Structure formats: C-alpha cells, structure tokens
Amino acid sequence: MSRIGKQPVTVPAGVKIKFSDGKILVEGPKGPLEQAIHPRVKVELGKLTRTGEKTDFKPDPAGNVLLVTRPDDDRQSRALHGLMRTLIANMVEGVTKGYEKKLKIEGVGYQAKLEKKSVELMVGFANKIVLTPPPGVTVEVMPDNTTIVVRGADKQKVGQFAAEVRAAKPPEPYQGKGVRYENEVVRRKEGKAFSSGG
C-alpha cells in the first residue's frame, strides 16, 4: 500500500483545500467533502520542485500538490498511508468529476419512479420500496423507467446507496429478474427439467 501512499495527489484548478481540527476539507465544482486525517499520517499541501534527477516537495499553502507521509514503517502506518492517499485522491476526483453508478431493472412490470427526491421501486412485491438517497447523492431514472443513475461527489456514499437499491431485489439466477449493476453478469442456473414421464 505504501507505494500508493508515496504518490502525490495533484490538485486541479478550481479545487480548494483546507485543514482544520484534524480534518481535510476539499471543495470543488461538485461540492465540498471532508475527511478526518488519521493521527498516524501527515497530509501537507505544497509544490514539487525538480532538481536534476531528484524531485523535492516543499510545503506551501498556495501549492497544488497534496503529499501524505507516515512517521514510521510500522505495518499499521503503512496500511493507513496508502488508505489516506486513496481517500484523498477519491475526494479530489469526486469534487471535480463526481462518481456515477448505473443500475438496470429486469423483469416484466418491474420499474422505478422518482418521487420528490426518493426512488420508488416496483419489483414484484405487494408494496413499493421507497429509498431516499443520503445528502450529496442524487438519483435519476433515465432514459426509461428501468434504468437508475446514482450520482454524487462522495464515492463511498454513491457506492453504498447503489448497493442498497440493488439489495431491494437482487437478480435471481433462474430468470434474471431483479435489480443489477449496468455491466453485472448474473450467473444463470438451469431450471428443473420435467420429463414427460410415461
């Protein structure tokens, strides 16, 4: 993980970075995100300067590079080093590009509908299933009522809500009916073969 941790995170134009109370706040076109910084790692904003073969990092509040460092080579420090760097890189990407998950509904009469900010699923149960996305996550039903698009700046929240939608009616293996991710391959099972016993 530490190989990932050593890589600096480039901050694109239009993204603001702030540090306060042991947290990093990343703000961009898609909104703000914050993340607590683990005490075992240090996150600094600065600039990279190249001298010959060597690249040096100089802390600078007006810099455009984030660097995550760890105090020692302890196993937990190494793991946290890579994790923090990945979380921060995801935040920077989230506030600039955002994240998106698409789900497809398969089955006769199965469909989804937007009701205010919630999504209503009609997936073969007597009652509709109503799911409300967390703050910062938007849901669209497009281009038809069998495609659900979950969007947001926070990768974890987008993934979690998409998983909740899928869990409402996971695809069953015989006819493939249910809610699945767009490119998910559902392993099919053979139905019972009835012989015309005579």
Per the CB < 8 A criterion, the answer to whether 97 and 20 are in contact is: no
Indicate if 110 and 92 belong to the same structural domain.
no
Per the CB < 8 A criterion, the answer to whether 160 and 146 are in contact is: no
Strands 99-106 and 147-152: antiparallel
- Cβ-defined contacts of 17-22 (< 8 Å, 24+): 17/45, 17/66, 19/43, 19/45
Indicate if 8 and 61 belong to the same structural domain.
yes
Q: Is residue 13 part of a domain?
A: yes
Cross-strand bridge partners of residue 42: 69
Q: Is residue 197 part of a domain?
A: no
Indicate if 87 and 27 belong to the same structural domain.
yes
User: With 90 as the cut, is the pLDDT of residue 4 above it?
Assistant: no
pLDDT tens-place string over residues 26-79: 999 999 999 999 998 999 998 888 877 787 888 888 889 999 998 888 888 888
Indicate if 115 and 91 belong to the same structural domain.
no
Measured between alpha carbons, how far is 140 from 165 in angstroms, rounded to an integer? 13
Range of the domain at 10: 2-96
CATH of residue 62:
3.90.930.12
Indicate if 159 and 146 belong to the same structural domain.
yes
User: With 60 as the cut, is the pLDDT of residue 2 above it?
Assistant: no
**Structural domain count of the chain:** 2
Bigger pLDDT: 69 vs 198: 69
Indicate if 91 and 8 belong to the same structural domain.
yes
Indicate if 34 and 105 belong to the same structural domain.
no
Ramachandran bin of 195, using left for φ above 0, alpha for ψ from -120 to 50, beta for the remaining angles: beta
Sign, CA torsion 84/89/90/94:
positive
pLDDT tens-place string over residues 121-177: 999 888 999 999 999 999 999 888 999 999 999 999 999 999 999 999 999 888 889
